[in-house]
């Protein structure tokens, strides 16, 4: 069974997906980690440190270069998270450096195709709860259950700020989210949008537990 959850950053989809997976005994898959790990690999190739900080700014308009690069990057998703070159990179995937390029990198269509193949291969033969931005529309259009989580921009920014993974101010995080969502919604492929058959949930004024209760109530296991 595949339970797919889409939504913008700060909508609560990662936390909710983890809780739903734990409750059902399914495997949780944060598909955005594939793109973040690829962004991290790009930054490290340009002199960045473990988190990608200090890297030369990548010229992502040179798509052919980064498509060829992406084909050589060894990514592996395990139960404890994302691995790059055989090492777990979960602590670095939400760094400010990765955040600054992941949307633009993931907008390169051939890279999306390559990563979607990796995601589908990792999900094969498993009961999973996956979350991302085009899970319900592109990656798993035939998912057994589809949900779209949303929240006001202020709620999104405050939640990301409270995660404590960014050195940016609350207002800077808000501006970053606005820019990223604009890029994601305008992508030629894999744009952030609500699938016609997805359950829409506005999480702005809901607790994580309340969101989970709504989702569980709609699933027959």
Q: What is the pLDDT of residue 114?
A: 94
- Backbone φ and ψ for 211, nearest 5 degrees, come out as -65, -45
Q: Is the dihedral of CA 46, 47, 51, 54 positive or negative?
A: negative
52 lies in the same domain as 102 = yes
How confident is the model over 82-128, as pLDDT tens digits?
999 999 999 999 999 999 999 899 989 999 999 999 899 888 878 99
In a domain, 76, yes or no: yes
DSSP 8-class letter at 81? E
Q: How confident is the model at residue 205 (pLDDT cuts 50, 70, 90)?
A: very high
- What are the start-end ranges of the E strands in the chain? 2-6, 27-30, 75-78, 81-84, 87-88, 128-132, 145-150, 199-202
- CA–CA separation, 95 vs 210, rounded Å? 29
40 lies in the same domain as 120 = yes
How confident is the model over 122-142, as pLDDT tens digits?
888 789 999 988 999 999 999
In a domain, 116, yes or no: yes
163 lies in the same domain as 143 = yes
- CA–CA separation, 79 vs 36, rounded Å? 17
5 lies in the same domain as 82 = no
165 lies in the same domain as 108 = no
In a domain, 5, yes or no: yes
In a domain, 219, yes or no: no
204 lies in the same domain as 137 = yes
pTM: 0.74
134 lies in the same domain as 117 = no
In a domain, 89, yes or no: yes
In a domain, 137, yes or no: yes
Range(s) of the domain holding residue 47: 35-125
In a domain, 218, yes or no: no
In a domain, 221, yes or no: no
81 lies in the same domain as 112 = yes
113 lies in the same domain as 134 = no
181 lies in the same domain as 118 = no
116 lies in the same domain as 87 = yes
- Number of structural domains found in the chain: 2
Domain end position, chosen among 125, 145, 167: 125
How confident is the model over 31-67, as pLDDT tens digits?
889 999 999 999 999 999 999 999 999 999 999 999 9
- Backbone φ and ψ for 99, nearest 5 degrees, come out as -60, -30
Domain end position, chosen among 61, 93, 125: 125
Domain end position, chosen among 103, 125, 147: 125
Burial (CB < 10 A; 0-12, 13-18, 19+), residue 125, is exposed
The CATH number of the domain where 172 resides is what?
Answer: 3.40.50.300
For the packed helices 32-45 and 109-123, what is the interaxial angle rounded to 10 degrees?
Answer: 130
42 lies in the same domain as 103 = yes
């Amino acid at each position: 069974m595949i339970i797919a959850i889409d939504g913008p950053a700060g909508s609560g989809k990662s936390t909710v997906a983890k809780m739903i997976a734990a409750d059902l005994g399914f495997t949780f898959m944060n598909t955005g980690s594939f793109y973040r790990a690829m962004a991290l690999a790009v930054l490290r190739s340009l002199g960045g440190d473990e988190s990608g900080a200090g890297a030369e700014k990548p010229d992502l308009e040179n798509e052919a270069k980064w498509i060829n690069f992406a084909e050589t990057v060894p990514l592996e998703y395990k139960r404890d998270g994302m691995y790059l070159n055989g090492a777990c990179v979960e602590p670095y995937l939400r760094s400010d450096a990765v955040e600054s390029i992941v949307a633009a990198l993931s907008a390169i269509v051939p890279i999306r195709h390559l990563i979607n193949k990796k995601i589908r291969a990792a999900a094969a033969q498993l009961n999973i709860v996956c979350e991302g931005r085009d899970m319900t529309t592109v990656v798993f259009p035939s998912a057994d259950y589809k949900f779209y989580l949303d929240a006001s921009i202020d709620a999104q920014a405050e939640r990301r700020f409270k995660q404590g993974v960014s050195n940016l101010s609350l207002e800077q995080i808000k501006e970053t989210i606005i820019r990223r969502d604009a890029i994601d919604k305008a992508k030629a492929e894999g744009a952030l949008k609500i699938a016609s058959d997805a359950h829409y949930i506005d999480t702005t004024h809901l607790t994580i537990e309340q969101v989970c209760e709504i989702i569980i109530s709609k699933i027959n296991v």
